[in-house]
Amino acid sequence: MSGHSKWANIKHKKGKMDALRGKVTTKIGRELTVAARMGGADPTGNMRLKLALQKAKENNIPKDNIQRAIQKGLGSSDGSNYEELVYEGYGPAGVAVMVEVMTDNRNRTAADVRHLFSKYSGNLGESGCVSWMFDKKGLFIIEKVATIDEEELMMLSLEAGADDFKVEDNEFEITVEPDHFYSFQEVLEKNGIKTSVAEITMIPQTTVALAADDATRMMKLMDALEEHDDVQEVYANFDIPEDLM
């Protein structure tokens, strides 16, 4: 596993999302507000809102909080000054990093992100410097269990429109085109297959293998960026051996 799928697994296994519960709630609430403002309150015709609602459900955000965030977006009284930006740069050993932010102060956020890159042996680059190394995909990670037959899952996935099917030591990694995300998710649910990760993300085309010191710095950079209030998502193309996690 590498890049963003590796990071998704690290957060899942270490309970990172629980540790950042307060910030996660704030970030998802902000996403709900902006999604509703841009596309309305009906998730059927608003894929962005549908994704945000799924994140809210996965993180056990109370329904009242969800409704308040959506109403803010519909009223345009709050959230209308948020600006969405993508910062691109390089981490230790030339790892490509993309940072999606939502901010009401571009200068403050740019300074903060630049500082974090520099602090952990990286540097912020120009727009477009690394985005070409990533593809937007729907990502599903399924843990290997006795009830799942590898060949049956592979055939089911390919028939449901999967782009790629990879087998790792303890899990299956499946990617689909973003437009097929929900239809593929429905196929898995109908067949009783649970996922540990199900999201639309940026998948790196190639990866950079990191040794001990660079791996430590890279993890610290990812951690620091994830914890920043204005950062919504972070993607990178690193590969770290299991024994260094």
Q: Where in the chain is the domain with CATH 1.10.10.200?
A: 6-74
* Nearest alpha-carbon partner for 4 in 179, 213, 221, 233: 233
pLDDT-derived band at 1 (thresholds 50, 70, 90) equals very low
Of the candidate ranges 55-59, 105-109, 117-121, 182-186, the one whose mean pLDDT is the lowest: 55-59
pLDDT, tens only, 80-100: 578 889 999 999 999 999 999
Q: Under CATH, which number does the domain 6-74 receive? A: 1.10.10.200
CA gap 43, 51 in Å, rounded: 9
83-132+206-244 is a CATH 2.40.50.100 domain: no
Please report, for residues 95, 99, 151, the alpha-carbon distance to residue 117 in angstroms, rounded to integers and kept in the order given.
11, 11, 43
- At 130 the three-state DSSP class reads coil
**Helices marked H in the chain — which ranges?**
3-14, 16-19, 21-39, 47-58, 63-75, 106-119, 150-159, 181-190, 212-227
Q: Is the pLDDT of residue 77 over 80?
A: no
Express each pLDDT in 204-214 by its tens digit: 998 899 988 89
Structure confidence by residue, pLDDT tens digits, 208-244 = 999 888 988 998 999 899 889 899 889 999 988 666 5
- For residue 17 the two structure tokens come to 């999302």
Residue 110, class by beta-carbon neighbours within 10 Å (0-12 exposed, 13-18 middle, 19+ buried)?
middle
Rounded to whole angstroms, the Cα distance separating 215 from 132 reads 23
Q: Give the model confidence (pLDDT) of 15-67 as tens digits.
A: 555 555 567 788 888 888 888 888 888 888 888 888 888 888 888 888 888 88
Q: How far apart are CA 149 and CA 26, in angstroms?
A: 39
Summarize the confidence of residues 151-167 as an average pLDDT.
Answer: 92
The pLDDT of residue 199:
86
Please, are residues 244 and 212 in contact by the beta-carbon 8 Å criterion? yes
Give the Å distances, CA to CA, from 43 to 35, 90, 102, 140, 145. 9, 35, 21, 21, 33
**Chain region(s) in the chain for CATH 3.30.70.980:** 83-132+206-244, 134-204
pLDDT at 66: 87
Whole-number Å distance between alpha carbons of 26 and 21: 9
Spatial distance between the Cα atoms of 105 and 108, rounded to a whole number of angstroms = 6
Could you tell me if 32 and 70 are in contact, meaning their C-beta atoms sit under 8 angstroms apart?
Answer: yes
Better-predicted residue by pLDDT, 40 or 122? 122
More confident residue, 145 or 95: 95
Instruction: Give CATH for domain 134-204.
Output: 3.30.70.980
Compute and round to an integer the Cα radius of gyration of the chain: 18
Mean pLDDT, the chain, rounded, equals 85
